[in-house]
Structure 1
Amino acid sequence: MSYKCSRCKRDVTLDEYGGVRCPYCGHRVLLKERSPDVKEIDVK
C-alpha cells in the first residue's frame, strides 16, 4: 500500500515493523494514496 508524507510530499511504503513514520523527514502524518477509479452508485 502506498502513502505520501504530508510534510515532504514523498512517496512512502511502510514495512510491517517500521512504524508509521516517514523515512525521509521523520514526520508521522502519512496520507493514503487513492485509486483513480470512480465508483458510480445508482440511486432510485
Structure 2
Amino acid sequence: MSYKCSRCKRDVELDEYGGVRCPYCGHRVLLKERAPVVKEVDVR
C-alpha cells in the first residue's frame, strides 16, 4: 500500500513486518494515499 509521511511528505511503502514508521525521518503518523475520485449521489 502507498502512504505519505505527515512530517517529511515523502512516499512510503510498507511491508507486512516492517512496522508503522517512516524510514526517512522515523515519524509514526502516515497518511493513506487515496485516488482523486469524486462520488456523485442522486438526490430525490
Tell me the TM-score normalised to structure 2 length: 0.89
> Identity over aligned residues, as a percent?
89
State the 4+ residue runs in structure 1 displaced beyond 3 angstroms: none
For structure 2, the residue ranges without an aligned partner over 5 or more in a row are none
> Cα RMSD between the aligned structures?
0.8
Cα distance in 2 for residues equivalent to 1:43 and 1:19: 43
Cα distance in 1 for residues equivalent to 2:31 and 2:12: 9
Matches of residues 1-44 of structure 1 in structure 2 within 5 Å?
1-44=1-44
For structure 1, the residue ranges without an aligned partner over 5 or more in a row are none
Cα distance in 1 for residues equivalent to 2:41 and 2:29: 31
Q: One-letter code of the match for 1:36?
A: P
